[in-house]
Amino acid sequence: MTRSHSALARLAPLALAGIALLASSCSSTSSTASPVTAPATLPAPVTAPADTDVPTTLPTETTVPVQDPGVSTALAPLTGWSVPTYEATDARTLEADSFERDNPDGTRSEVSCAPQGLPPMTGTFDSFPAFGFSGSITPGLVIQGAGVETGDLRVVPLDRAPATLVSSLSSGSPTSLVEAPTTATLTDAVATLQRDADARITGIDVVPAQVMYERTETFSFEQSRFALDTSLRYHGSFDASMQVNFAQEKGVEKYSVVVRYVQPMYTIRMAADSIVSPGDYFAAGVTPADLSALQATGAMGPGNQPLVIDQVTYGRVMYFTLTSTEATSAQDLMVALDAANEQWDGGVEMTDEQRSLLRNSRIAMLAIGGDQGLAEDAIRTGDIGEYFGSANTTTAAALSFSLRTLDGTKVEVADSVSASRLLCDKTLIEEQAPTFTAAVSGVVGRVEVFVNGTRVIDASHTPDNLLTFTVNEFAYGSGSAGINAYFQSGSNVVEVKYTNLACINAQFTIKIQVDGRNVVNESMPPKCAFTVTWTYDVNPSEGTATKRP
C-alpha cells in the first residue's frame, strides 16, 4: 500500500502538466473566423513502474573511531600510587675540637665543639624541582614513572588524544589546543602561550613579580636540602658547590644559613576535564596489544607506570648557602640578609658591618632563570632588587612540576634524613690585666721606688760605710716588687729616687716589666756623689711606661 501511494503521488505532477498544455492550446483560439485546424495532440501519459523508487543522493556517513575499552582495563592496574621513601644519611665524620677565637668586640673566647646528632627529619613532597631532572619537562606529556626515582624523564611512546594547555596568566589567549600531543607540539604550545603573555610584544604586563624569601640556619648538606623543600633524590646540581661548605675545618667556628628566593611567574597545566578513564589520554587507535608490546620492552609496567606531567611552574629561583667564619652566630647572617631585603623594599639602609659580612661570606649557589654570576653579586652587595627587578615570560625557566597517575592520583615522594652537627659552646676568656713589676739592681747608694706616692722598694748596698768595708763584705743593693696593687684608675706614676753622698762608684739599674717583658731598662753609670729622680707615666691597660723628660 505504501509503495502504490508513492507512485501515484509521483504521477500527479505529470497529469497537471498535460492539463496546463491543453488549456494553453484552447486559450490561443481567436474570436474571428479562422481556418479549421487539426485538434491538438496530448502528450502520451508517463507511467512509472509500480515497484521502482526514484533514485536519490544520500550523505556519506563518517566513521568515528572508538577506543577499545580494553585499553582502560589494561591501564587500570597501573594507576594509584605507592609513595616511595628515600633514606639519606650525613656522610661526614665529625670530630670534637677546641680552640680560641677573637670576638668582634676585641675579647676572646674558648670554643669547644662536639658532634651531635640532629632529630630525624621526614617529609613528603608533591612538587618536583626541575633542576633535578633530565628530559623534557612539558605540561601534558605522559612519561614513564621510573623517572621519578632516577630523574630521567622518558615519554611513553603511544599516540595521544588531543589535549588543551591552560596558562594561569590573564593574557588574551590563555589556552592552546594540541591535536596530536608530542614533545614537539606541546613545547610549541607552551611557547605560544608564553609569547601571548610577553609584555614586550603585547605591551601589557601580566606577569606577577612577587618574590618569596625564606632562610634558616643549617648544619649539614642533608638538612639544607630538606629546608629547601626538595627531596634529596635530586641533589646532583647541588653536590659540587654546596657540600664543601659543610666540611669540618679544624680550629674554625663557622655558621651557615640556607636561603631560597623564588619568583614564580606563571603555571601552565593540562586541562583534564574530559579525562574519565586512563585510556582517555591516548588516541582511539591505541589497542591493548600496543600496551602489551610496551610492557614487553619495559617502557610500561607495574614498576614503571605511566604518569602525566600535570602542571609546570615557570619563573626564577636562587638557592644558596651562606657560610661565615666572621659571624658569631647564624643570627648575624640572617639579620644581614633581612636587612638586604628591607633595603630592597625601601626600608632602612644596610650597615657597613652587614655589607662586609655578606661580602666576606662563602656562597654556594644554584640560580635558575637568570645569570648565576649576577645572582651572586646581588647577594654579596645586598642589592637583591638588581636581580629580581624585572620579570618576563620568555626568560622564565621551568622551576617545578607536579605529576599525576592516569586515574588522577597525585604523585608524592618521601624522605627520611639523618644528619649531624657540631655543637659549639663558647666561654669568654677573662683577659688578665698586664702584670707590672719594678726591680732595681747593682745599687751603690740607695734607690727608692714609689708608685703613686707609696714606696714599694728601698734598696742599698752593704755595708753602709763604704770607707771601712773589705771586698768580701761588699754587696750591691737590689730589690723587686709587683706594683699592680698600687695602681689607680687612669694614669699612674712611678718615681725612682737615687741618693749617694759618697763619691765612690755611684750606680744602679731600674727595670719595669710587663708580663716579664722589659718596658723600662735603664742604668746610671758610676758617678761621684749625686741624687736623681726618674719619673715614669704608666698605663696599665696598654702595658706601657713612658719616662718624663
Instruction: Compute the mean pLDDT over every residue in the chain, rounded to the nearest whole number.
Output: 83
Q: In this predicted structure, what is the pLDDT of residue 117?
A: 93
Q: Which long-range contacts (CB under 8 A, 24 or more apart) does 43-52 make?
A: 43/18, 45/14, 45/15, 45/18, 46/11, 46/14, 47/11, 48/7, 48/10, 48/11, 49/7, 50/3, 50/4, 50/7, 51/3
The more confident residue out of 13 and 239 is 239
Across the strands, what pairs with 447? Answer: 459, 498
Write out the H or E segment, with its range, that includes residue 230: none
Model confidence at 20, pLDDT cuts 50, 70, 90, reads very low
Residues 391-400 have a mean pLDDT of: 78
Buried b (16+ CB within 10 A) or exposed e, 295-306: eeeebbbeebbb
Residues 62-68 have a mean pLDDT of: 68
Looking at mean pLDDT, say which of 151-155, 351-355, 364-368, 501-505 comes out highest.
Answer: 151-155
Q: In this predicted structure, what is the pLDDT of residue 380?
A: 83
Residues 100-128 have a mean pLDDT of: 92
Q: In this predicted structure, what is the pLDDT of residue 6?
A: 37
Q: In this predicted structure, what is the pLDDT of residue 14?
A: 35
Percent of the chain whose predicted confidence (pLDDT) is above 70: 82
Q: In this predicted structure, what is the pLDDT of residue 428?
A: 92
Percent of the chain whose predicted confidence (pLDDT) is above 90: 52
Residues 470-496 have a mean pLDDT of: 89
Q: In this predicted structure, what is the pLDDT of residue 432?
A: 78
Query: Do residues 413 and 124 touch, judged by C-beta distance below 8 A?
Result: yes
Q: In this predicted structure, what is the pLDDT of residue 309?
A: 98
Report phi then psi at 384, rounded to 5: -60, -35
Residue 266: closest CA among 362, 167, 351 = 167
Question: For residues 119 and 420, what is the distance between their CA atoms, to the nearest angstrom?
Answer: 9
Say whether pLDDT at 187 is over 60. Answer: yes
Residues 358-377 have a mean pLDDT of: 84
End-to-end alpha carbon distance in the chain? 152
Residues 6+ apart with CB under 8 A from 300: 78, 144, 156, 291, 294, 306
Report phi then psi at 129, rounded to 5: -75, 130
Say whether pLDDT at 375 is over 50. Answer: yes
* pTM of the full structure: 0.68
130-166 per-position pLDDT tens digit: 988 999 999 999 999 999 999 999 999 999 999 999 9
Residues 398-406 have a mean pLDDT of: 96
Q: In this predicted structure, what is the pLDDT of residue 65?
A: 67
Question: For residues 18 and 379, what is the distance between their CA atoms, to the nearest angstrom?
Answer: 102
Question: For residues 125 and 131, what is the distance between their CA atoms, to the nearest angstrom?
Answer: 15
Residues 450-457 have a mean pLDDT of: 96
Model confidence at 541, pLDDT cuts 50, 70, 90, reads confident
Report phi then psi at 328, rounded to 5: -95, -5
Model confidence at 466, pLDDT cuts 50, 70, 90, reads low
Query: Do residues 123 and 244 touch, judged by C-beta distance below 8 A?
Result: no
- The dihedral built from the CA positions of residue 377, 383, 386 and 387, taken in this order, carries a sign that is positive
Across the strands, what pairs with 449? Answer: 457, 496
Q: Is the peptide bond before 463 cis (omega within 30 degrees of 0)?
A: yes
The more confident residue out of 469 and 49 is 469
Model confidence at 29, pLDDT cuts 50, 70, 90, reads very low
Q: How far is CA 154 from the centre of its chain?
A: 26
Say whether pLDDT at 410 is over 90. Answer: yes
Stretch among 55-59, 88-92, 170-174, 247-251 having the lowest mean pLDDT: 55-59
The more confident residue out of 79 and 237 is 79
- CA distances to 137, 285, 398 from 289, rounded to whole Å, are 28, 11, 36
Across the strands, what pairs with 318? Answer: 261, 367
258-294 per-position pLDDT tens digit: 999 898 889 999 999 989 999 999 999 999 999 999 9
CB atoms within 10 A of CB 541: 11
Say whether pLDDT at 238 is over 80. Answer: no
Query: Do residues 517 and 545 touch, judged by C-beta distance below 8 A?
Result: no
Say whether pLDDT at 202 is over 50. Answer: no
Model confidence at 478, pLDDT cuts 50, 70, 90, reads very high
Cell readout for 317 is: 629561583
Stretch among 67-76, 117-126, 185-194, 430-439 having the lowest mean pLDDT: 430-439
Question: For residues 84 and 76, what is the distance between their CA atoms, to the nearest angstrom?
Answer: 20
Q: In this predicted structure, what is the pLDDT of residue 239?
A: 62
Please give, one letter per residue, the 3-state secondary structure of 347-383.
CCCCCHHHHHHHHCCEEEEEEECCCHHHHHHHHHHCC
Q: What are the sequence ranges of the domains in the chain?
A: 1-56, 72-307+314-426, 436-547
Residue 216: closest CA among 325, 124, 120, 337 = 337
Question: For residues 87 and 232, what is the distance between their CA atoms, to the nearest angstrom?
Answer: 9
Using DSSP's 3-state secondary structure scheme, residue 510 falls into: strand
Q: In this predicted structure, what is the pLDDT of residue 224?
A: 86
Write out the H or E segment, with its range, that includes residue 225: helix 221-227
Say whether pLDDT at 11 is over 50. Answer: no
